[in-house]
Structure 1
Amino acid sequence: MAEDRAALEGKTVLVIGGSSGFGLEVARLAQAHGARLLIVGRDLEKAARVAEGFRMAGGSAQGFGLDATDAAALSGLLEGESPVDHAVSMVGGAMGGGFLGADLATIRQAIEEKFFANLGIARTLAPFLAENGSLILTAGSGGRPDNASGAIVGNEAIGTLVRGLAVELAPRVRVNAVAPTWTPTPLWRNVAAPDIEQTRARFTEQIPLRRTGEPVEVAQAYLFLMQCGFITGQTVVVDGGLSLVT
């Protein structure tokens, strides 16, 4: 465990979407391993509040409010904070509906939010990433093309993106992705509680481990990808075995 901590001790970790959900858990784990945190969220007040909490706990953290898909804004932040040792992007949404059931604009938006947003972020981040650093994107698993069409295309495109970037940025930087299945996080804050519980029950029935995951369990995959220096171009699926039976 001491060697694991040493891998992140004093390193700068940028978490885009680090003020809630998976991103917040990644930040907590990285901070526990001695990393210096850069927390980015759209809401400056929230990001600053989260960073202050980390500082009060004895860590080093700064919070920034910006749209990470705005290349000029993200570059402006990085020019003052680089090099970044490890960057994590939680950017991407969810959607329901098949190729015929969902409207075209919704499908396009899902692909835009998954693939093109992260492509832009990666292009902006690349010059600011440190030697032997890493970039970790977020895909997803658990849906099917007939009920989550645009999201599935976007998730598969993230896998393609990390395979390409891993070669283009090697050997200086490693690039990977994490693909969680449905997990109760603030992403679903606008969904009624009974609907959340119904979704949880449905996934619990389908997942071989007979439960849904915890956000911290998903976050552990991001930490593994930061710490393991001999893995690149991979998408790590964190779904309790759901992909084995669907």
Structure 2
Amino acid sequence: MSDAAMPASDTLLASLRGARLLVIGGTSGFGFEVARRAADAGARVVLVGRDRERLEAAVSELRATGAAAGGAAIDATAPGALATMGEQLGEVDHVVSTLGGAMGGGFLDADLETIRETVEGKLFANLEVARALGPRIADGGSLTFTAGTGGSPSTSSGATVGNEAIATMVKGLAIELAPRVRVNAVAPTWTETGLWRDLDPQQLEETKASMAEAIPLGRTAEVSEIAQAYLFLMTCGFVTGQTLAVDGGISLA
């Protein structure tokens, strides 16, 4: 089938054939699904995760499908770790970062250190990704971060500040790295991923049901739906400086 006859989504994914993709936080959730789909499209993927056991399991799962996959067991937030890894890996075409966590609590009732750590884990950890790996992205490549939607300053203070900071950082980096590299972010709302693995099953279901009630579409997202947004931003060559909300409309409320 010629490119002209292929569905638009397939044509975009075809551009990943042979591409080198680095996924930071790629052992589960959004990162792993992005890596899996990109590998299915013919990309060569490298997963980065701090838990060696999870990393090896994820890489093995990809390789079992015939994917060209490797892994790097490092703490991406440790000073200098990404720069050292980048020197070892060399040039890549696309980088996806899922660094950053969630938190509850406002500016007064949340612990100050928790707020500070949440902002640090979103903005400055991802800024380090850009500084360490941006120069190693090939011309025409992309850098995609993870922000978030659905919280409010009074109930998720540090996360809200961090998400807004990522959106601002993306706008700046998109100019600084243009025209060589495109920079964007995906902003999902609450989705059932490994981030919530410490919740017991009842808490998880209660949280999922509560979030579904707040989302205009009446349900939470599937991991695969969020992954589609990363793939779109990686492969659509005329999008840069954007933060794409994939949240069922919760940010409209």
Report percent identity of matched pairs.
58
Q: 188-197 or 15-24, which moves further after superposition?
A: 188-197
Q: Provide the rounded CA distance (Å) in 1 between the counterparts of 2:14 and 2:226.
A: 21
Matching residue within 170, 179, 182 for 1:162: 170
Contact preservation (8 Å) 1:45, 1:65: no
2:249 pairs with 1:241: yes
2:138 pairs with 1:134: no
2:181 pairs with 1:177: no
- Compute the displacement of 1:30 (Å): 0.7
Matching residue within 203, 213, 233 for 2:221: 213
- Compute the displacement of 1:138 (Å): 0.4
Please state whether the residue corresponding to 1:98 is helix, strand or coil: coil
Q: Provide the rounded CA distance (Å) in 2 between the counterparts of 1:237 and 1:96.
A: 20
* Corresponding residue for residue 229 of structure 1: 237
Matching residue within 122, 147, 151 for 1:114: 122
Per-residue deviation, residues 45-65 of structure 1 (Å, max 9, x unmatched): 321221122122111000110
Gaps of 5+ in 1: none
- CA RMSD for the aligned pairs? 1.1
TM-score by length of 1: 0.96
* Corresponding residue for residue 86 of structure 2: 78
Q: Provide the rounded CA distance (Å) in 2 between the counterparts of 1:77 and 1:102.
A: 35
Per-residue deviation, residues 173-211 of structure 1 (Å, max 9, x unmatched): 000000000001110011122221111111111211111
The total of aligned residue pairs comes to: 245
* Corresponding residue for residue 125 of structure 1: 133
- Compute the displacement of 1:171 (Å): 0.3
Please state whether the residue corresponding to 2:153 is helix, strand or coil: coil
Gaps of 5+ in 2: 1-6
* Corresponding residue for residue 26 of structure 2: 18
TM-score by length of 2: 0.94
Q: Provide the rounded CA distance (Å) in 2 between the counterparts of 1:71 and 1:3.
A: 39
Q: Provide the rounded CA distance (Å) in 2 between the counterparts of 1:108 and 1:121.
A: 19
Per-residue deviation, residues 104-161 of structure 1 (Å, max 9, x unmatched): 1111111011111111111001111110000000001000000000100000000000
Contact preservation (8 Å) 1:15, 1:23: yes
Please state whether the residue corresponding to 2:138 is helix, strand or coil: strand
